[in-house]
Amino acid sequence: MPALDGIRVLELAGLAPGPFAGMMLADNGASVIRLDRVNPPHQPSPDVLIRNKASIQIDLKTTGGKDLFLRLVKQADVLIDPFRPGVLEKLGLDPTNVLLKLNPRLIVARLTGFRRDGKYAKMAGHDINYLAVSGVLSMLGPSPRLPPDGRPLPPTPPGNILGDFAAGGHMCVTGIVMALFARSRTGQGQVVHANMVDGANYLATMPRISTKIPGQWDRPRGENLSDGGCPYYNVYECKDDGKYMAVAGLEPQFFAELIKGLGLSDRPWMAKREDRAVWPAIADAFRRRFREKTRKEWEAVFDGSDACATPVFTHAELEAAGYEQRPGVTLTGTPALDSGPGSGWDVEVLGLGEGGEQALAQWMGWKKGRDYALANGGLQVKDASRL
């Protein structure tokens, strides 16, 4: 039985971090209903984080739609709110004064990009904006000084993995699970506040503190031990263009294995690897040597060794090789649901209303036409006296 079997989750439809949080819960056995709007707003990409979910459409601005929603809230364990601050309150659905009074065991997980207070609270934003004001974006990417004016490159956007999914969705799930654990002792639900600014800043605890430790992260971006500044913690192109090897020979014993595999053990400056003055020479030697063999040839050299040297695969390569997608963590007694072959590679979307009738039957014992009906694109209570 999955760890979250029996947990009922309402996920108000939103962008990436909210759906990711819902998918994490669903993957571990929770019953998740995505609540779609009658007229969904434009999204830059489809929601593909839909494993093990169902969908219903509700117009929360109508009396019948709101009534149906509140009846679901009574039976829910978790509500995922991905909206900007104040949206639920404007709908008359204040979490503390309405939802938790209706269902004291409910956990309302409110996930925003910016903090809920301060000058950015009401502003729109995306992953890169949240990383920017958290201080984390300033730490990412190389910073060579380029001609003609010698200005360094700006920080590098790392995709939306760090903000949306790690600092956003995953942090939100951590809060939900802690709230569920607390409820198991107190019987009371609560509001979980998560935002990507604080989430990213929290994830950066070690490197942030390390900026005050000499030799760790105390130099400008791209010049430190683990951000691309160190030549033996970096990525190098192989003989076959566009193929790379990643090296991380930080510890002396691993560094010794690395330079042994590269055939560079005899270089006099290898014994002074911690002297930054020799880093340019080491980097140049590594660049030249890795270009002498293909990635596959370097794999043959380093596979099975402690050189901390591995190939840089693309997702396309992993898919072609039959790489098996697995849960982020494995629980031996309460494992996650089996996602099935192809899951994690194939594009799948959840149609509006898909699986909704079955979910409402399981949650509430409702039947379409008897207990609820479709009106103007959204589900509404049909006969309140019968519910």
Show pLDDT as tens, one digit a residue, over the chain (387 residues): 999 999 999 999 998 999 999 999 999 999 999 999 998 887 778 899 999 999 999 999 999 999 999 999 999 999 999 999 999 999 999 999 999 999 999 999 999 999 999 999 999 999 999 999 999 999 999 888 888 888 888 999 999 999 999 999 999 999 999 999 999 999 999 999 999 999 999 999 999 999 999 888 999 999 999 999 999 999 999 999 999 999 999 999 999 999 999 999 999 888 899 999 999 999 999 999 999 999 999 999 999 999 999 999 999 999 999 998 888 899 999 999 987 666 788 889 999 999 999 999 999 999 999 999 999 899 998 865 444
String of DSSP letters for 47-69: ----TTEEEEE--TTSHHHHHHH
For each of the domains in the chain, give its residue range(s) and CATH number, in order of start.
8-204+326-381 (3.40.50.10540), 234-321 (3.30.1540.10)
What was the pLDDT predicted at 387?
42
Is residue 164 among the annotated active site residues? Answer: yes
Give the pair of three-digit tokens for residue 272. Answer: 């002074």
Distance between CA 230 and CA 218 in Å, rounded?
A: 13
Catalytic option among 164, 198, 227, 371: 164
Whole-model pTM?
A: 0.93
Cα-based torsion angle of the residue sequence 82, 88, 93, 99 in order, rounded to the nearest 10 degrees: 30
